[in-house]
């Protein structure tokens, strides 16, 4: 654990831009709250993604212009959004049928911790005085074809978020496929964390020092985006 | 002759009783039947079990019902939204019980309850603290958790347009849980901004067929929770 900020590394926006490059054309995508929402700003030229929001909209568009929003057109974070031409509204059972039934291609989520076998903890720190709240996270990880996590590599206190074993309550076991952090892109493999790519200006040892489990070095760089 | 329209929100909720389970439509403020909830506060039923995705905001609508001490148990997926200040107060002093249910499981439990399905298996919550105490079963090589269907004595929901047969259409993402709750409520009460005669809705676009609805009340200009909260309003 180091409190020292690494030099280099991606900003939140650069992390989102990097992740967006790995989403194939035509994908149906659910974006979690926070950094995941930024991904929608960086759709690569020539590709089209359809955004699902679990409160009942397929074809979610960007935030409305000030003063034009509707309090009954919102996203899962309860912020006002727009609906693109070709959007569809539906009730919650249909929405979670899309999720649990494996119809969505990709979900991008934030994380408190990810373990080397892909366990995700992102809903509770287990603090006894906190009010537990889970929303749709457990349904998303149980059903969406690919789960990508986008997160800072370490907590504000410099603790690694990528760990051998999650100590916070789990959202799901063995559900994460890939992690995009400020320092690297990391794939979950049967052998644990594998670095696919280092952020510009970051070297392997820097990432390893800030990771709570062994990393294996880069394999072949990823080619044309494909769902894992 | 069938005419499910009633004259007022007060009349619509008059027979709610102490100890009832009540499903309340809405995801955050979208689809929250505020006028029906306020009528319920006036009506006075206590010791309610309330089913909603959240716990309201500010001191209006569901949050006001909670603040008034009418809800003894909350079945909910996300009780921690912005401006939800009443639920935490009661929760921390042990005055309200929380059943935390994953959002999709909550939706499916309500759907199943309304559809005559007593229970179902789902992959959601497997290997998490929310699986605790639940039956697990392996089906086709994958593990699932048993969840039970959920019904209610009453469901109160908000539509955009209803007809006097009880057919309902909704407004955008205000639809959310309401069509499911309409099925699962023994008595389902709809507030709609417009109530029309039979034939006034295109049968092809009806979302909730009238068979699931018992009462309809016209609330022509429903308040928006965020507007009331921003204005610092509280109910009553």
Q: What is the pLDDT of residues A68-116, one digit of tens each?
A: 999 999 999 999 999 999 999 999 999 999 999 999 999 999 999 999 9
Chain-chain contact of A142 with B122 (C-beta, under 8 angstroms): yes
pLDDT of residue B207: 98
Residue window 147-166, chain A: list those with CB within 8 Å of chain B.
none
Q: Is residue B55 part of a domain?
A: yes
Q: Closest approach of chain B CAs to the CA of A166, in angstroms?
A: 12
Q: Is residue A212 part of a domain?
A: yes
B172 pLDDT above the threshold of 70: yes
Measured between beta carbons, the chain A residues lying within 8 angstroms of B98 are: 131-132
> Could you tell me the pLDDT band of residue A129, with boundaries at 50, 70 and 90?
confident
Q: Is residue A1 part of a domain?
A: no
The catalytic residue among A14, A54, A164, A197 is A54
Q: Closest approach of chain B CAs to the CA of A117, in angstroms?
A: 14
A1 pLDDT above the threshold of 60: no
A67 to chain B, any CB pair closer than 8 A? The answer is no
Q: Which domain holds residue B174?
A: 18-102+150-227
Q: Is residue A227 part of a domain?
A: no
B215 pLDDT above the threshold of 60: yes
B-chain residue closest to A92, CA distance: B176
Task: Return the percentage of chain B with pLDDT > 70, whole number.
Answer: 100
Chain-chain contact of B124 with A55 (C-beta, under 8 angstroms): no
Q: Which domain holds residue A128?
A: 12-216
Task: Domain count for chain A, please give it.
Answer: 1
A5 pLDDT above the threshold of 70: no
Q: Is residue B124 part of a domain?
A: no
Q: Is residue B33 part of a domain?
A: yes
Q: Is residue B54 part of a domain?
A: yes
End-to-end CA distance of chain A: 31
Q: Closest approach of chain B CAs to the CA of A57, in angstroms?
A: 7
Chain-chain contact of B27 with A74 (C-beta, under 8 angstroms): yes
Q: How far apart are CA B101 and CA A172, in angstroms?
A: 15
pLDDT of residue B82: 82
Q: Closest approach of chain B CAs to the CA of A207, in angstroms?
A: 29
Q: What is the pLDDT of residues A153-197, one digit of tens each?
A: 999 999 999 999 999 999 999 999 999 999 999 999 999 999 999
> Could you tell me the pLDDT band of residue A8, with boundaries at 50, 70 and 90?
confident
Chain-chain contact of B172 with A89 (C-beta, under 8 angstroms): yes
Q: Is residue A222 part of a domain?
A: no
DSSP conformation letters of chain A: ---SPPSS---HHHHHHHHHTTSPTT-EEEE-SSHHHHGGGGPPTT---EEEETTTEEEEE-PPPTT---TTSB-TTS-B-EEEEEEEE--HHHHHHHHHTT--SEEEE--SEEETT--EE-S----TTSPP--TTHHHHHHH-SEEEEE--SB-TTS-BSEESS--SPPSBSS---EEE-SSEEEEEETTEEEEEEEPTT--HHHHHHT-BS-EE---SPP-S----
Chain-chain contact of B176 with A135 (C-beta, under 8 angstroms): no
Q: Is residue A226 part of a domain?
A: no
The closest CB to that of B173, out of A72, A133, A139, belongs to A72
pLDDT of residue A2: 43
The CATH number that applies at residue A187 is 3.40.1080.10
Task: Domain count for chain B, please give it.
Answer: 1
- Average pLDDT estimate for B203-214: 98
A142 to chain B, any CB pair closer than 8 A? The answer is yes
Chain-chain contact of A92 with B126 (C-beta, under 8 angstroms): no
- Average pLDDT estimate for B69-87: 94
The rounded mean pLDDT for chain B is 97
- Average pLDDT estimate for A28-32: 96
B32 pLDDT above the threshold of 70: yes
State the ipTM, two decimals. Answer: 0.96
The rounded mean pLDDT for chain A is 93
A132 to chain B, any CB pair closer than 8 A? The answer is yes
- Average pLDDT estimate for B148-173: 98
Q: Is residue A157 part of a domain?
A: yes
Chain-chain contact of B172 with A72 (C-beta, under 8 angstroms): yes
The CATH number that applies at residue B60 is 3.40.1080.10
pLDDT of residue B80: 87
Q: Is residue B5 part of a domain?
A: no
A3 pLDDT above the threshold of 50: no
């Amino acid at each position: 654990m180091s409190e020292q900020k690494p030099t280099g590394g991606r900003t939140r926006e650069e992390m989102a831009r990097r992740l967006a490059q790995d989403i194939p054309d035509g994908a149906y995508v659910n974006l979690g709250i926070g950094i995941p929402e930024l991904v929608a700003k960086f759709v690569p030229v020539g590709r089209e993604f359809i955004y699902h929001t679990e409160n009942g909209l397929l074809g979610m568009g960007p935030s409305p212009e000030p003063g034009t929003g509707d309090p009954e057109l919102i996203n899962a974070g309860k912020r006002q959004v727009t609906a693109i031409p070709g959007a569809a509204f539906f009730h919650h059972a249909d929405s979670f049928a899309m999720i649990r039934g494996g119809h969505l291609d990709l979900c991008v989520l934030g994380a408190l911790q990810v373990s080397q076998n892909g366990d995700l903890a992102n809903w509770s720190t287990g603090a006894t005085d906190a009010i537990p709240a889970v929303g749709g996270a457990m349904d998303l990880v149980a059903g969406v074809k690919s789960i990508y996590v986008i997160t800072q590599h370490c907590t504000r206190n410099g603790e690694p978020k990528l760990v051998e074993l999650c100590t916070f309550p789990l959202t799901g076991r063995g559900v994460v496929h890939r992690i995009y952090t400020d320092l690297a892109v990391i794939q979950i493999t049967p052998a644990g964390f594998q670095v696919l790519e280092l952020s510009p200006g970051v070297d392997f040892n820097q990432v390893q020092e800030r990771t709570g489990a062994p990393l294996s070095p880069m394999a072949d760089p990823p080619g044309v985006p494909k769902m894992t | 002759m069938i005419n499910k329209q009633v004259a007022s929100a007060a009349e619509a909720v008059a027979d709610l009783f102490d100890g009832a389970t009540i499903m309340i439509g809405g995801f955050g403020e979208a689809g929250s039947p505020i006028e029906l909830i306020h009528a319920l506060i006036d009506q006075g039923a206590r010791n309610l079990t309330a089913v909603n995705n959240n716990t309201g905001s500010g001191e209006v609508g569901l949050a006001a019902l909670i603040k008034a001490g009418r809800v003894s148990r909350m079945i909910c997926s996300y009780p921690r939204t912005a401006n939800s200040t009443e639920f935490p107060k009661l929760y921390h002093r042990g005055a309200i019980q929380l059943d935390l249910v994953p959002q999709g499981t909550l939706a499916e439990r309500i759907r199943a309850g309304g559809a005559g399905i007593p229970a179902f298996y789902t992959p959601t919550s497997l290997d998490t603290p929310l699986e605790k105490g639940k039956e697990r079963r392996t089906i086709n090589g994958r593990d699932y958790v048993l969840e039970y269907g959920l019904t209610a004595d009453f469901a109160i929901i908000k539509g955009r347009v209803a007809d006097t047969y009880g057919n309902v259409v909704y407004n955008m993402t205000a639809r959310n849980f309401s069509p499911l709750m309409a099925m699962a409520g023994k008595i389902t009460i709809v507030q709609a901004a417009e109530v029309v005669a039979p034939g006034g809705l295109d049968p092809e676009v009806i979302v909730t067929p009238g068979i699931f609805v018992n009462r309809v009340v016209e609330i022509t200009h429903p308040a928006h929770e965020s507007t009331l909260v921003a204005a610092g309003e509280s109910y009553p």
